[in-house]
Amino acid sequence: MSFGFLGIQFGWGLQMANMSPIYKILGAEESNLPYLWLAGPLTGLLVQPLIGAMSDRTWTRLGRRRPFFLIGAILSSLALIAMPHSSSVWMAAGLLWILDASINTTMEPFRAFVGDKLPADQQTSGFVMQSFFIGVGQTVANAMPWFLGTYIGVKGATAAGIPLTTYYSFLLGAMVFLLAVLWTVFKTTEEPPADLEAFRRENASKGGLTAGFAEIPAAIAQMPRTMKQLAVVQFFTWFAFPCMWQFFGIAVAKHVFHADSGSPQFTKGTEWAGLCFAVYNVVCFAVAFLIPVVAKSLGRKTTHALCLICGGIGLLGVFVCETPYSLWLPMTGVGIAWASILSLPYAMLAGAIPGHRMGLYMGVFNLFIVLPQVAMSFIIPRIYKGPLGDDPRNVVMLGGIMLLVAAASVLLVEDKGGSEVSASGGAGH
């Protein structure tokens, strides 16, 4: 059930590590990078709640969730193949919109899939396994350009200047994405509703696409108190991570490899930044299996706060790193935070979501991931050349401050479930 997440996170991992360097190579201004990244949060804002609501009321020969897995995977793979052929900033930005809408179509039903399939006593194992594949997929994707350049000896660039290491990584990513999701589609089953005809009559009476949109505001108005409190935590958390994803690679190239776009050292710097992302994802899937144990001892709120503090200190520590390998220490802190972000907020929400709205509420909860990314995309360009000193490292450090604020806000959450970890989310938009 979780194997498809390996492919999904391969897509996210390639995007997070490579889109800012691609934009920079194609001539984008650093201060405008957040605008060019808007595709992810905005498509997530529109697509995930809608797909969640639609999958709740869908039944086909492939089941309820799996048709969305398949359609999204095909479109995502095509977009991954097309991306490294970009010849201009706006071509890359347009393809990113298509890619993110497609990945969100695949990813959203995965969150509800494990909840649909597994009994309560197996959900912890199911979601930890999902987090494991998230870590594996992103690790391999992040390290792929560096591996192709260092060990395979791939050199050169496309006519537009995009390194061939990036080019081949996206092609391989398209293949992995599609095959991994196909494995889940064809190796799993879904049980139909007990009374399929009654299910279809009920959904027909609710209406189609328009009704799906109309259900979202009602769900927001009725969302549980814990969900509202977690929204604050999620806001600061998901303001922080785009600061890292969008500016860490540029910061490493400039301040550790002392290079700007167009030079071979810039490519080496951004490839090393991708390897650093792989490091935090290795830490993520290593720590993922310890999170339930620690949460059982300390409680979920305390555990999540401590993990976010590790991430905040890690991003602040990037400022003092002067050598490539020294970056691995702060990335360890980020990986600890990432492991917790993928599981504990969803665990604290578990039990508050009604089963018949599982897909819809997972999509609505995603709003608290994408809205802070939208806010970040509009705020950072306005302060980049002023308070942030036209320095990508300062954006990364701002992300660290935001994670520390998120850690403090966790203490305000009303966690009725105690220490049991029973759910996890997915990375991305």
pTM of this prediction exceeds 0.85: no
Query: What b/e sequence results for 28-57 when a residue is b if at least 16 CB atoms lie within 10 Å of its CB, and e otherwise?
Result: bebbebbebbbbbbbbbbebbbbbbbbbbb
The predicted-structure confidence for 247-288, as pLDDT tens digits, reads as follows 999 999 999 999 887 788 999 999 999 999 999 989 987 888
Query: Residue 119 class from Cβ within 10 Å (0-12 exposed, 13-18 middle, 19+ buried)?
Result: exposed
Coil vs helix vs strand at 63: strand
Coil vs helix vs strand at 29: coil
DSSP string, 144-199: HHHHIIIII----B-TTS-BHHHHHHHHHHHHHHHHHHHHHHHH---PPPTTHHHH
Q: CA 34 to CA 373: how far, in whole Å?
A: 9
Coil vs helix vs strand at 60: strand
Tokens of 31: 């201060």
Query: What b/e sequence results for 226-257 when a residue is b if at least 16 CB atoms lie within 10 Å of its CB, and e otherwise?
Result: bbebbbbbbbbbbbbbbbbbbbbbbbbbbbbb
Would you tell me how many other CB atoms lie within 10 Å of the CB of residue 262? 11
CB–CB of 396/244 below 8 Å?
yes
> How far, in Å, are 73, 138, 140, 171, 239 from residue 133 at the CA level?
16, 8, 11, 20, 24
Could you list the pLDDT tens digit for every one of the 429 residues in the chain? 888 888 998 999 999 889 999 999 999 999 999 999 988 788 877 777 777 777 777 777 777 788 888 999 999 999 999 999 999 999 999 999 999 989 988 887 776 777 677 776 676 667 677 777 888 888 999 999 999 999 999 999 999 999 999 999 999 999 999 999 999 888 988 776 655 565 555 655 555 555 556 666 777 777 778 888 899 999 999 999 999 999 999 999 999 999 887 788 999 999 999 999 999 989 987 888 888 889 889 988 999 999 999 999 999 999 999 999 999 999 999 999 998 998 888 778 765 666 666 666 766 777 888 889 999 999 999 999 999 999 999 999 999 999 999 999 999 988 766 555 544 444 455
Q: Three-class SS string for 355-382?
A: HHHHHHHHHHHHHHHHHHHHHHHHHHHH
CB neighbours of 239 closer than 8 A, spacing ≥ 6?
A: 372, 373, 375, 376, 399, 402
Coil vs helix vs strand at 87: coil
- Class assignment of domain 3-410? mainly alpha
Q: CA 410 to CA 391: how far, in whole Å?
A: 30
Helix H or strand E encompassing 82: helix 66-82
Q: CA 173 to CA 99: how far, in whole Å?
A: 12
Tokens of 233: 């935590």
CB–CB of 166/84 below 8 Å?
yes
